Structure 1
């Protein structure tokens, strides 16, 4: 029995060495950083906070651990379309962080059933035949979010210099984060844009995925075990030009084990975007695997589908004609100064 145990341990060690992404590097830079992934997952979890005051002042229950000391600069809530994003400065990474909220957990099942939406031609320069998911594209480009995010990044860079930009999001928020990162690179000409998403769906066809890889070669899509959403909209092998196709690179988080020994690994996938040995190797049938990533909760605090709470009357905000809310402040202003000063939105 003792010999069998050693054999099981040896087999498991081999699996971990082959699959684990923790030390996977190119000749120059790491492809995937596990600590960064967990940090961005914590930022993504925080965006589901229902209380805008706690989120904007970074005092929420989820606003700690690896993200402690973060400064929110712009918080955008598109009430009409139930969308939300924030931009801020992370001093420990010397970077601007942009986070998009995904679908609330109470409506995930309904949202999944609506994922079979049509594609539209992408009107970006130099990308003929690229088609994208019309709903996800519009959620970023045709709402309050785009202008609010760009404004927040400009504010951060005016104060902190040409700092790198990290864009992230979960679920539908991951889809919007992907369009945002591409937009910043292609249309705004920004450099040092990093993208890492969690449990995002497919957002375009294979031609789009190829262009995306050229502009954001180090983008990462983290997927979790049997999460249903990365399998949607469906991939149809027999219709390569029309079907939706993931852009690379996927990191598939799942468990491996031999006997009683079980270990969670972060597996680096190939550059195709549709590696058959990663999440496509299993059935995508779990909503539960969708709402927790790297041990971090990705579900909303609110029982409703788009409930927004702000109890602090000292917070100043701007509301547009559609009822969208923008909380904004000058970078470098402390929480105490925020509550005592009268600041204006721009």
Structure 2
């Protein structure tokens, strides 16, 4: 999933030993200008409607480049997770990534938690995650998603 340029690569896999669907997101590729561009579009922007849920603060803002990069793979990732989940409906979901990938992972976890059955455990592990949103967003997300 992705083009390893403006759209960072992602993959969806299943761990039988953990009974877990794993979504991995690539971080910034410093050799690709379009990848770096995702990081430098740091102007704050409102959280997209598709990510808003009950309790989301009205004054939340997120990093424009991270949200734009997330949009590029969000539907494909969701469909891939649903495809695996149809075969193993009791599997939990772990979303992970490094740097830019960690930021995308956080947005993906929010989206997946809303789109998957309510009994699906969705966790996120980010390595070197940059700041994704403002203080209002950070406070809200801490209570909404399990961040390991």
- TM-score of the pair, normalised by structure 1: 0.38
Distance 1:198 1:79, change over 3 A: closer
Answer yes or no: is 1:136 the counterpart of 2:66: yes
Where relative contact order (Cα < 8 A, 6+ residues apart) is larger, the structure is 2
**Greater fraction of residues in helix:** 2
Q: Secondary structure at the match of 1:106?
A: coil
Residue 11 of structure 2 aligns with which residue?
86
Q: Secondary structure at the match of 2:31?
A: helix
Deviations for 1:289-338, whole angstroms, at most 9, x for unmatched residues? xxxxxxxxxxxxxxxxxxxxxxxxxxxxxxxxxxxxxxxxxxxxxxxxxx
Residue 210 of structure 1 aligns with which residue?
139
CA RMSD after TM alignment? 2.4
Answer yes or no: is 1:158 the counterpart of 2:86: yes
Structure 1 residue 162 displacement after superposition: 2.4
Q: Secondary structure at the match of 1:104?
A: coil
Residue 168 of structure 1 aligns with which residue?
96
Q: Secondary structure at the match of 1:182?
A: helix
Structure 1 residue 147 displacement after superposition: 1.5
- TM-score of the pair, normalised by structure 2: 0.84
Q: What residue ranges of structure 2 are gaps of 5+ in the alignment?
A: none
Structure 1 residue 111 displacement after superposition: 3.1
Distance 1:195 1:79, change over 3 A: closer
Residue 24 of structure 2 aligns with which residue?
99
Q: Please say which structure displays the higher CA radius of gyration.
A: 1
Distance 1:81 1:138 in 2: 10
Residue 181 of structure 1 aligns with which residue?
109
Q: What residue ranges of structure 1 are gaps of 5+ in the alignment?
A: 1-75, 221-346
Q: Give the aligned length.
A: 141
Divergent runs of 4+, >4 A = 187-190
Structure 1 residue 95 displacement after superposition: 0.6
Structure 1 residue 187 displacement after superposition: 4.5
Distance 1:102 1:79 in 2: 10
